[in-house]
Structure 1
């Protein structure tokens, strides 16, 4: 059995039902990472693969009984990195030690290190999270990181007029 709370199990059941596209009580393992991310976890691609995620459709199906222990395990995983970890990495590019780095270096870092982003993903993240460059091409990296880790902004309902 798992050490998930009743609330965690309820949330997992709901998310699982969303990814059970055909109502069969199973989820294709290709969606394991998406399902875990829907539950506010940030597993790396390696963790998803280790937990049984697949790269092709219809290779493997998961039942909720299979998923709950995976959810429990990934919830405990420490390999995802924290704000402080990422901040220390970006400080390596802060030559003047003033909290800024070249925008081009930040873009290069996102495209080439760790689990690399596509050009489109990188462009979208920079557009959403990055402050404008100064006249020398530098940007403050701490506010960028805070916005990035906070995730997408909540959709605000349109105000009634």
Structure 2
């Protein structure tokens, strides 16, 4: 399966792997598989990491790079992470008036309790960074929120041009 990777992918994987080779013996703790994959611009779920051989505890299993490359290839090939339209359909379930709005409290509850649960601080950060201010009834427009979340943390809004002097 590692043959599905380009030479560039293999080079990137070797580099990312080497960063987590703390002992310099060409192995990494399987605990760091998710971190390595995220460093390679993938977004595996915790369940997916366990499925491909990652561990929840340190020092349970060590991997060599030739064992990691098939894991990287498999996760890279799996595209089942959802997209904007998928998430939009989910949030429409909470849009009682079908007007593109939902209660901020419900969104917070979803983030805290469904799927791979987030912590209070993580939810607060996401709400602060991605949500518009709620209206007087506690509702937000969820489409702009989703667009910001799906765009990811590295996308910054384009600053307004400086006024001409």
Q: TM-score, normalised by structure 1?
A: 0.89
Secondary structure (helix, strand or coil) at the match of 1:152 reads coil
Superposed CA offset, 1:21-58 (max 9, x none): 23221111111111111111111111100111111111
Unaligned stretches of 5+ in structure 2? Answer: 157-165
Runs of 4+ in structure 1 over 6 Å off: none
Matches within 5 A, 1:1-161: 1-153=2-154
Change in Cα spacing, 1:21 to 1:151, as seen in structure 2 (3 Å) is farther
Q: CA deviation at 1:154?
A: 5.9
> 1 CA distance for matches of 2:154 and 2:41?
14
Secondary structure (helix, strand or coil) at the match of 2:102 reads strand
Q: CA deviation at 1:83?
A: 1.6
> 1 CA distance for matches of 2:21 and 2:100?
45
Unaligned stretches of 5+ in structure 1? Answer: 156-161
Q: TM-score, normalised by structure 2?
A: 0.87
Structure with bigger gyration radius: 2
